Amino acid sequence: MTQTIHAAPHDAVAQVDKAEYDARYAASVADPESYWREGGRCIDWSRPYTEVKDTSFDEADFRIRWFADGQTNVSVNCLDRHLETRGDQTAIIWEGDEPGETRKVTYRELHSQVCCFANVLKSKGVKKGDRVTLYLPMVPEAAAAMLACTRIGAIHSIVFGGFSPDSLANRLVDCDSRLVITADEGCRGGKRIPLKANVDKALDHAPGVDTVIVIRRSGADVPMVEGRDFWLHDLLADASPDCPAEPMDAEDPLFILYTSGSTGKPKGVLHTTGGYLVWAHTTFRDVFDYRDGEVFWCTADIGWVTGHSYVVYGPLSNGATTVMFDGVPNYPDHGRFWETIDRLGVNIFYTAPTAIRALMREGDSWVTKSSRKSLRILGSVGEPINPEAWDWYHRVVGDRRCPIVDTWWQTETGGILISPLPYATDLKPGSATKPLPGVQPMIVDAEGKELEGATEGNLCITDSWPGQMRTVWGDHDRFFQTYFTTYPGKYFTGDGVRRDADGYYWITGRVDDVINVSGHRMGTAEVESALVAHPKVAEAAVVGMPHDIKGQGIYAYVTLNAGDEPTDDLRAELRQWVRKEIGPVATPDALQFAPGLPKTRSGKIMRRILRKIAENDTSNLGDTSTLADPSVVDTLVAERIRPA
Ligand code: WT7
């Protein structure tokens, strides 16, 4: 039996209690149109909408449109509308890589920076609808760059600073960016990341880019190409702080964010203006029970969707104080998070299970030597949190005082879909609990038949919510094929899930060929294509395997070309190769040389078997009789790698 932790009202009175959640949920499902007609008013519209929900997941009339005749601007909602009431309040607390390397930016200052930055972009020829790529560390200028794009209607595409020049080039070309915003270097965990140098390399393969704006971060001396590269501080010196906001239609694109899928190259997930902002705004407000004046810290990088929705857009549209952290959890030591929480007076803290597990392993004393008395709510995101880690987070970090919100969502969903509401939802360690108002999950079997009651199967969402992605950039057909054809008429998440007798959801992980490494999504196909690009590799198959800290690790099977010898040096070289091709997050944890891969007679690789071997679950490999050469399996089992 799992223990249930009862929702206890906060002494300042729960903003949403159990009865209120139940009432809202029922209303949102019974009549989504009326629910969101009201719900959409949480943001300011320069032209109010009259249309609310216009959506269908059916092939014949497939469409996803919300608040379509309304107009708004994201930067106005995140900045201008707060100036009168909280202009001098801190909008962003920046915490650098070194403890205490801190900067505070008020709403008024941020507004002025964003307007200047927007004028800089305009002066470089950026217009509404143009794509601007950001390859940046976690500095306030990064948030300013995002908001500057939204002010003039440019579409930002943020590429995580840990991605390689090649990955950056692919993303630049895919969305046809003309302008890149980067920094001289990133500083993380005491190390330098050569961001500008990586951009220089990427631009060899992205001829469409004609302008690079460089933010000074480390102060390193980086080469600047005359006529192409400009220092931001030089450009800002001449920029006017007066920049009227572009009125945007609700369905005008807001940003593109690339994410990995089970096949092919990463997809450019497109979010639009009105629906996304309503979703980021309301989920931030309700899931974190945000109260005026509190300090909110989400540790995610803006290179991932969590950083978009819960470092920048959700907090700022609510007038919150948000922390931007440019460091790592274990630098300079394992107490960094907790020491910083005390120093900055953090009230709400949101991080990933992989970080929790890594810190848990270092012992309680790193935590207990801090006070953490400012903490009120803890959050978890990115992968399933195992009950042991949940319990440690609750007991040791939160002193049993702080509710944990385990938030399930995806890049595609724009914001949180399944999560407890603090003080309203009883908690069960390891469960994301219940859907938010407006979210209609359904569990189906392999054939798409709905499974009712307590059950386990594939997680679909049956109706649209405002924050849903609208398309894959440049490939609308891929959008429809990827998400709406496995189970026609439903959005398929790619996740497996269990529902218990209380109607609580327990996400079990991906059921497709996507691996979740430390909360970062990797497509097995991407790692495979990086491996086969090496001259000595004939064939590669990549699967996930359980990993104590990362949740999942990457296990690669590699067949070499005839004449090439499997050596430890080559193994190291191939791991390094993938790291260089894609980025450190894609480095295989284990790499096994395989004389051959298990294939059916029609040549299809039997991944099910490869997964079992990687998981070291070889007692029951299932039916191998359909293999072209069943003896391959015995060799693979005998030579299985025990990852370090
Ligand atoms: C995948 C989405 C959510 C933003 C960060 C990751 C997994 C995410 C949880 C959770 C169990 C989770 C799912 C999902 N996932 N949150 N609370 N419990 N699994 O976004 O890179 O788009 O990855 O992350 O498998 O499909 P993403």
Look up residue 162 and give its two tokens.
């840990």
Closest approach atom of ligand 1 to CA 406: 17
* pLDDT, position 194: 98
**Which of the residue ranges 193-207, 294-308, 438-452, 609-623 would you say has the lowest mean pLDDT?**
609-623
Annotated binding site for Mg(2+): 532, 534, 537
Q: Is the pLDDT of residue 9 over 70?
A: no
Least confident of 425-439, 511-525, 578-592, 610-624: 610-624
Q: What is the pLDDT of residues 435-456, one digit of tens each?
A: 999 999 999 999 999 999 999 9
Confidence of residue 111 (pLDDT cuts 50, 70, 90): very high
Write down the pTM of the prediction: 0.96
**pLDDT tens digits for 285-338?**
999 999 999 999 999 999 999 999 999 999 999 999 999 999 999 999 999 999
- The least confident of 383-387, 394-398, 638-642 is 638-642
pLDDT at 626: 81
Residue with tokens 């003896």: 631
Comparing 9-13, 263-267, 283-287, 485-489, the range with the smallest average pLDDT is 9-13
Please, which residues bridge with residue 455 across strands? 499
Angle at the Cα of 337 from the Cα atoms of 163 and 410, rounded to 5 degrees: 45
- 618 band by pLDDT with thresholds 50, 70 and 90: confident
**Contact residues for 572 (Cβ-Cβ < 8 A; gap 6+):** none
Pocket of ligand 1 contains residue 307 by CB under 6 Å = no
CB 72 within 8 A of CB 46: yes
Tell whether the model's pLDDT for residue 1 goes beyond 60. Answer: no
Which residues have a Cβ under 8 Å from the Cβ of 482 and sit 6 or more positions away? 261, 267, 472
- How confident is residue 11, by pLDDT bands cut at 50, 70 and 90? low
- Cβ of residue 318 lying under 6 Å from some atom of ligand 1: no
CA of 416 to the centre of ligand 1 (A): 10
Is the Cα dihedral 331, 332, 338, 339 positive or negative?
A: negative
**353 upstream amide cis, omega within 30 of 0:** no
Q: What is the pLDDT of residue 552?
A: 95
The DSSP line for 85-126 is HHTTSEEEEEE-SSTT-EEEEEHHHHHHHHHHHHHHHHHTT-
Residue whose CA is closest, atom 8 of ligand 1?
A: 382
pLDDT tops 80 at residue 13: no
Say yes or no to pLDDT of 75 above 70.
Answer: yes
Give the rounded percent of residues in the chain with a pLDDT score beyond 90: 92
Q: Is the CB of 512 under 6 A from ligand 1?
A: no
The residue whose CA has the least distance to atom 5 of ligand 1 is 382
Q: What is the pLDDT of residue 264?
A: 83
| pLDDT score of 603 | 83
What is the C-alpha separation between 404 and 422, in angstroms, rounded?
Answer: 8
Across 627-632, average pLDDT: 86
- Grade residue 544 by pLDDT with cuts at 50, 70 and 90: very high
Which pairing describes strands 450-451 and 471-472: parallel, antiparallel, or unpaired?
A: unpaired
Pairing of β 321-325 and β 90-95: parallel
End-to-end C-alpha distance for the chain, whole angstroms: 34
Residue 514 CA, closest ligand 1 atom number = 25
Q: In what order do the strands lie in the sheet with 155-158?
A: 229-231, 211-215, 179-183, 131-135, 155-158, 253-259, 267-272, 471-472
pLDDT at 426 over 60: yes
Measured by CA distance, the residue closest to atom 7 of ligand 1 is 383
Phi-psi region of 149 (alpha: psi -120 to 50; beta: other; left: phi over 0): alpha
133 lines ligand 1 (CB under 6 A): no
Spacing, Cα 519 to ligand 1 middle (Å): 7
pLDDT band at 417 (very low <50, low <70, confident <90, very high): very high
Q: What are 325-379's pLDDT values in tens digits? A: 999 999 999 999 999 999 999 999 999 999 999 999 999 999 999 999 999 999 9
User: What per-residue confidence (pLDDT) applies to 505?
Assistant: 98
At 624, the pLDDT band (50, 70, 90 cuts) reads confident
Residue whose Cα lies nearest atom 6 of ligand 1: it is: 382
Calculate mean pLDDT across residues 2-9: 78
- Three-state SS at 638: helix
Read off the tokens for 486.
């496995």
Q: What is the mean pLDDT of the chain?
A: 96
Are the CB atoms for 476 and 461 separated by under 8 Å? Answer: no
Mutate to test the pocket of ligand 1, among 357, 393, 515, 516 (most ligand atoms within 8 A of CB): 516
Cβ partners under 8 Å of residue 336, min gap 6: 99, 327, 328, 329, 330
Asked whether the predicted pLDDT for residue 584 surpasses 80, the reply is yes
Instruction: Give the number of the atom of ligand 1 that is nearest the alpha carbon of residue 509.
Output: 25
Predicted local distance difference test score (pLDDT) of residue 12: 62
Q: What are phi and psi of 295, to 5 degrees?
A: -105, 125
Q: What integer is the mean pLDDT of 603-621? A: 89
Q: Are the C-beta atoms of residues 315 and 277 closer than 8 Å to each other?
A: no
pLDDT at 263 over 90: no
Q: What is the ipTM of this complex?
A: 0.99
How far away, in angstroms, is 192 Cα from ligand 1 center?
29
Distance CA 178, CA 168 (A): 13
115-169 pLDDT, tens digit per residue, is: 999 999 999 999 999 999 999 999 999 999 999 999 999 999 999 999 999 999 9
**Ligand 1 centroid to 465 CA: how many Å?**
17
- Tokens at 308, concatenated: 């978009």
Q: Which residue, by CA, sits nearest to atom 18 of ligand 1?
A: 384
